[in-house]
Amino acid sequence: MSDTGDPGWRPDVLGDEFEQLVLPLGSDEEGDVVAALVRALPAKRSWLRRALHGPPPLDDVDVLYVHGWSDYFFQKRLARLFTDRGARFFALDLRKFGRSLREGQTPGFIDDLASYDEDIAGALDAMGWDPEQPRDDRRLVLMGHSLGGLILSLWTDRHPTVPSALILNSPWLEFQLPRFQRETIAPLVGLQARRHPLDRAPQVDFGFYARAQRESADPDDPIEVNVEWRPEQTMPVHAGWLHAVLEGHARVDDGLSIDVPTCVILSARSAPPLRWSDDLTEADSVLIVDDVARAALKLGPVVTIVRIDGALHDVFVSHRDARQDAYRRLARWVDDTLGHPQKISRG
């Protein structure tokens, strides 16, 4: 990436065309709090090429991506799907995740998902957006994976006039238990969150999801992951954080009012990660995808659900065939939905 002269932007750990900006967010009882914004800008086109072919189809689009739980942004190819079409791509490592995690902080901890409004506002401001107002000259597309999908769905419901589209990769819209069990544990988690928010909640993770990703690796489309930022076994879950997530799920269950085109990409099936089997390399071992698909219909009136056969929880790190299918279907939806500005409605 050429030097733009923008203050604060520095080369990112991803190298190539990626840069990073640290966003100060004040402090809490654990010290200074920051978020990190990563960007990839489209390659500049010559005036002759623009004169002959016109602007690229997403020339007026800004994409903001938010990662999932126990995660950070590392998907170069995903960014390039958008920058190749002329969009500016940005990815946000939320406070206490990935690039934003500082020594002495509780990884990923927060007790209210709405607190991430500050992280998103900081990112949008750096992108040239007012988080409360749409722009007439550009379109904003939000993309979230898993927990990031839940966060952005709730944010879009609160800011209905700002985004032009929402893309969700296996969004965590429903807790992975039968309804009667969810309704039983929610009050208990809420009580524990009020009394001892940092108490650890019980969880079982044998590292099978990370193993499935390794065994699905595509040598022709390599992905490098920092295991300190995306550990093989998930980060500890605390009562206050779990309560915040369950509250988010309850809001989705009540129904949101997202009135922009929404694409939800999911694996075709789930597999329980209780013991290792090859089935875990061709299914979502984190969420119950049929429950998520049903919950997605409560997001708003214009929801496209895409099911990818053989995909993992993050469909873009699946084995070659499923990964290629996921990119092909996302590209088709992006071209059909965003390639024509007149199709976009902000309510």
Q: Is residue 2 domain-resident?
A: no
Alpha helices in 43-127 (DSSP H): 47-53, 76-83, 116-127
**Is the pLDDT assigned to residue 160 strictly greater than 70?**
yes
Q: Is residue 3 situated within a structural domain?
A: no
Alpha carbons 330 and 178: distance in angstroms, whole number: 30
Domain of 159: which CATH number? 3.40.50.1820
Closest C-alpha among 198, 27, 13 to residue 118: 27
Between strands 61-66 and 139-145, the pairing is parallel
Window from 175-179, 259-263, 305-309 with minimum mean pLDDT: 175-179
Q: 35 in a domain, yes or no?
A: yes
28 found inside a domain: yes
The dihedrals phi and psi of 267, each to the nearest 5 degrees, come to: -65, 160
Residue 48 has pLDDT above 70, yes or no: no
- Would residue 345 count as lying in a domain? no
**Does the pLDDT at position 7 exceed 90?**
no
Please give the sequence-ordered ranges of beta strands (E in DSSP) within the chain, or none if there are none.
10-11, 18-28, 31-40, 61-66, 88-93, 139-145, 165-169, 262-267, 303-308
pLDDT, tens digit (0-9, with 9 covering 90-100), for 268-292: 999 999 999 999 999 999 999 999 9
Quick check: is 347 in a domain? Answer: no
Q: What is the 3-state secondary structure (H, E, C) of 206-265?
A: CCHHHHHHHHCCCCCCCCCCCCCCCCCCCCCCEHHHHHHHHHHHHHHHHCCCCCCCEEEE
Q: Is residue 337 pLDDT above 60, yes or no? A: yes
Whole-model pTM over 0.75 = yes
Cβ partners under 8 Å of residue 194, min gap 6: none
Q: Which residues span the domain enclosing 301? A: 10-340
Q: 58 — phi, psi (to 5°)?
A: -110, 30
The per-residue pLDDT for range 232-276, each reduced to its tens digit, is 999 999 999 999 999 999 999 999 999 999 999 999 999 999 999
Confidence of residue 182 (pLDDT cuts 50, 70, 90): confident
Measured distance CA(182)–CA(11) in Å, rounded: 44
For 129-157, the pLDDT digits (tens) are 999 889 999 999 999 999 999 999 999 99
Q: Could you give the number of structural domains in the chain?
A: 1
| pLDDT band, very low/low/confident/very high, at 5 (cuts 50, 70, 90) | low
Q: Is the pLDDT of residue 112 over 70?
A: yes
177 pLDDT more than 90: no
Closest listed residue to residue 146, CA positions, set 243, 72, 78, 61: 72
pLDDT at 191: 86
198 belongs to a structural domain: yes
Percent of the chain predicted with pLDDT > 70? 94
- Rounded CA gap, 331 and 321, in Å? 15
3 pLDDT higher than 70 = no
Task: Identify which of 111, 114, 123 has the alpha carbon closest to the alpha carbon of residue 36.
Answer: 123
- Would you place residue 13 in the very low, low, confident or very high pLDDT band (cuts 50, 70, 90)? very high
Residue 97 lies in a domain: yes
